Amino acid sequence: MKNRFSKFKNRNVLITGGLGFIGSNVAIRLADLGANVLIVDSLIPDYGGNLFNIRDIKDRAKVNISDIRDENGIKFLVKDQDIIFNLAGQVSHIDSMVNPFVDLEINCRSQLALLEACRKNNPQVKIIFAGSRQQYGKPEYLPVDENHLIRPVDVNGINKSSGEWYHILYNNVYGIKAASLRLTNSYGYRQMMKHNRQGFVYWFFRQAIDGEEIQIYGDGSQLRDFVFIDDIVDAFLLVAVSDKANGQVFNLGGQKPYSLLEFVEMLLKVCKKGSYSFVPFPSDKARIDIGNYYADYSKIKKMLGWEPKVSLQEGMKRTVSFYRKYKGFYW
């Protein structure tokens, strides 16, 4: 893997959403590999962008504070880039239902505008898109593979699906090399911790670290899989350097599924404080809940050799250690 990643040395790489959770971790890895990193981020409040995330590479990466909805800006920014990690997006399922047109602009229309900018100004570029498990909706079978029907249960899932398929279309029709990774529950350092609208995982971490009571919706039996940020970054980089990945979509998945109760009990044991209780599902969240989900990641394992290496317990320990040290920059 290290030999393959040496291909990033001196390459021009653009990361949209590069001050956010996944984007900043990708940026740090690429800077360490010798890439010429350009970060684009709007720093919209509550979306996750945080300048502190790149403090270790602030002298080795360029930052452009701009919005991917700015078509004229994107036309300029994509020029001369070898690789684009397209990670900018609105990721809150609840927010997508409250403000569907904002989600449409960011997760769908802006993706098409970026691809058009590449078609007209940089058709040789490689683009890696961040998809979501939410695109599948409620699973018909488990584990969920890439052949499962796409039946989103919220606006975010619909727009993420459209954004993803624009990438695949431009790969197939225009020859712009593109691929997508459908992410499951992701966790690790540099994640936004200010509110609970972007999923339960990081919010449970915050509550456990603070010694608060975690409220589990339902009976805690729902199954989920979890992938640590270092494994996620490996997957993005592998797809970027592999021509076999062009035009493909890949699931990322955890080593094994855990019930929400098992997740919380393990987290409280790592933090050595906190508690939990069971509460009824709020109606707005119950309407878009997908039930049990865990991914079949055999396609990316077979094609590119990726599989999750960091166990949930080890990932929890690393995550808790990070936030205890830098809590003031995330709470």
Residue 288 banded pLDDT, cuts 50, 70, 90: confident
Lowest mean pLDDT among 68-82, 165-179, 266-280: 68-82
111 has a pLDDT exceeding 70: yes
Token look-up 């993005």 returns 236
Judge whether residue 267 has pLDDT over 80: yes
Within a 10 A sphere around the Cβ of 219, how many other Cβ atoms?
A: 10
Confidence at residue 281, expressed as pLDDT on a 0 to 100 scale:
87
Query: Given this model, what pLDDT does residue 283 score?
Result: 83
Confidence of residue 246 (pLDDT cuts 50, 70, 90): very high
**What is the model's pLDDT at position 97?**
87
Residue appearing with tokens 């994107």: 74
Q: What is the pTM of this model?
A: 0.95
Confidence category of residue 251, pLDDT binned at 50, 70, 90? very high
Residue 46, pLDDT score = 76
**Residue among 245, 252, 128, 85 at smallest CA distance from 182:** 252
CA torsion 82-85-90-91 (nearest 10°) is 170
Q: What is the pLDDT of residues 152-190, one digit of tens each?
A: 999 999 999 999 999 999 999 999 999 999 999 999 999
Predicted local confidence at residue 76, as pLDDT: 93
pLDDT (average), residues 312-318? 98
| pLDDT bucket at 2, cuts 50 / 70 / 90 | low
Residue type, position 13, single letter: V
Average per-residue pLDDT for the chain: 94
Q: Express each pLDDT in 28-48 by its tens digit.
A: 999 999 999 999 998 888 778
Kindly indicate the confidence band of residue 229, based on its pLDDT and cuts at 50, 70 and 90. Answer: very high
Domains of the chain, residue spans: 2-190+226-253+294-309
CATH for 2-190+226-253+294-309? Answer: 3.40.50.720
Q: Identify the residue whose tokens are 């990316």.
A: 300
pLDDT at 115: 97
